[in-house]
Amino acid sequence: MRAAARAVVDYALPPRCPGCGIIVGEDRQFCLTCWSSLHFLDGPCCSRCSIPLPAALPGGPTQCGACLASAPPFEGAPAAVAYGPVARTVALRLKYGRRTGHARLMARLMARHLATLGDIDAMLLVPVPLHRWRLWSRGFNQAALIADELARLTGVPRDHHLLLRTKATASLRGKGRRERDRIVAGAFALAGDGKARAAGRHLVLVDDVHASGATLRAAARVLGRSGAAQVSALTWARVVPEALMTSNIFDFASLDSDMASEG
């Protein structure tokens, strides 16, 4: 009966590629065109902010120039993919199109990066919170949905209420770094019993997009005062300068074959 009902649903509402919308074989699969256009961020990167570097340098971990000049308040901030047309579409359809199922496919591609940050047994996932008015208007926090799926996939616990959004902020789009940092300054606070919940843990901030990094820096500074052993970040997509963009280092057909469909 369940299989028959699923067949009826698939006929009436066939699964579609989250990137372009064409019909695919299974739910939450990309078509081959969209899958192959994703830039997976798995090559050499800054040991501090995880931005891709042009090539691995001898001597072990290295940092980018920006982190050498001013270290961010987190240690490692990997993203699954570079921010591009397909990654952007997936993020926007989750955030504004209410395609909440997209959180699962995003988490599936993010999950493998957790192990690069350290011992997962010490980790606690902390979604970047929304201000209560934005949460009320949208109805959900996309970062929390992604954190829920990461927790389900990996067994790493999450805490939705460790970090609070105490100030509504203006859009950061088009602003310079200093102005972005000024806008988000004081936007976050630790929950009343946050220090007890965070003590000794490796806190991993979870968000959908790492753009300028201002929001992640502001949130990480607050978590850094919680008594946590370490603070890192993990996102779905990272805005990467065009000069650093490279082709996929993984064959899209073999990285995770059940994430792509021939349609």
Chain segment 198-227, per-residue pLDDT in tens = 999 999 999 999 998 999 999 999 999 999
Question: How many other C-beta atoms are found inside a 10 Å radius of the C-beta of residue 241?
Answer: 9
* Mean pLDDT within 241-253: 52
157: which 2 tokens? Answer: 């616990």
Distance, CA of 128 to CA of 33 (rounded, Å) = 31
User: In this model, does residue 100 exceed pLDDT 90?
Assistant: yes
Distance, CA of 20 to CA of 35 (rounded, Å) = 10
Task: Name all contacts of 96-101 with Cβ < 8 Å and 24+ positions apart.
Answer: 98/139, 99/18, 100/140, 100/145, 101/27, 101/28
Give the pLDDT score at 249. 37
User: In this model, does residue 170 exceed pLDDT 80?
Assistant: no
Q: Are 149 and 109 in contact (CB under 8 A)?
A: no
Domains of the chain and any CATH numbers: 1-37 (no CATH), 39-245 (3.40.50.2020)
172: which 2 tokens? Answer: 């950061």
Q: Where are the alpha helices (DSSP H) in 97-187?
A: 102-110, 132-138, 142-154, 177-184
* Angle subtended by helix axes 85-95 and 102-110, to nearest 10: 130
Q: How confident is the model at residue 93 (pLDDT cuts 50, 70, 90)?
A: very high
Give the pLDDT score at 245. 67
Q: Which among 140, 138, 139, 114 has a CA at the least distance from the CA of 125?
A: 114
Q: Are 234 and 77 in contact (CB under 8 A)?
A: yes
Q: Which among 126, 131, 79 has a CA at the least distance from the CA of 240?
A: 79
Give the pLDDT score at 40. 93
User: Considering the entire predicted model, what is its pTM?
Assistant: 0.86
Give the pLDDT score at 248. 40
* Mean pLDDT within 167-190: 82
Location of structure tokens 């300054």: 185
Give the pLDDT score at 45. 87
Rounded to the nearest integer, the mean pLDDT of the chain is 85
Q: How confident is the model at residue 5 (pLDDT cuts 50, 70, 90)?
A: very low
Chain segment 65-90, per-residue pLDDT in tens = 888 998 999 999 999 999 999 999 99
193: which 2 tokens? Answer: 């019993």
Percent of the chain with pLDDT over 70: 84
